[in-house]
Amino acid sequence: MLPSAVATGEPQLRVRDGQVAVPRLTATGAASETGAAFAADGTVLITGGTGALGAELARHLVAEHGVRHLLLTGRRGPQAPRSRGTAR
């Protein structure tokens, strides 16, 4: 199975139970089209949230989706430059 999997030329694949699978990203509709939404009383976890992209995502979730409870985590913990170092 391995030689035929390698012969596909795919940069990344998985072989499981004799089946070869290749990861693919697909476009989906907007949350209103798919029915996906954030629960008003739920908490959104953002890993890497103390970095620039995580902070931008947090702002977007608050402004565009009304999220009110966020948990931002990062590898550096309270030592991250933008971290307040304490839970609020």
The predicted model scores a pTM of 0.52
Region 7-23: mean pLDDT is: 88
What kind and span of H or E run contains 16?
strand 14-16
Q: What is the pLDDT of residues 54-87, one digit of tens each?
A: 889 999 999 988 899 999 888 877 777 666 655 4
> Rounded to whole angstroms, how far apart are CA atoms 75 and 50?
9
Task: Tell me if 28 sits within 8 A of 22, measured CB to CB.
Answer: no
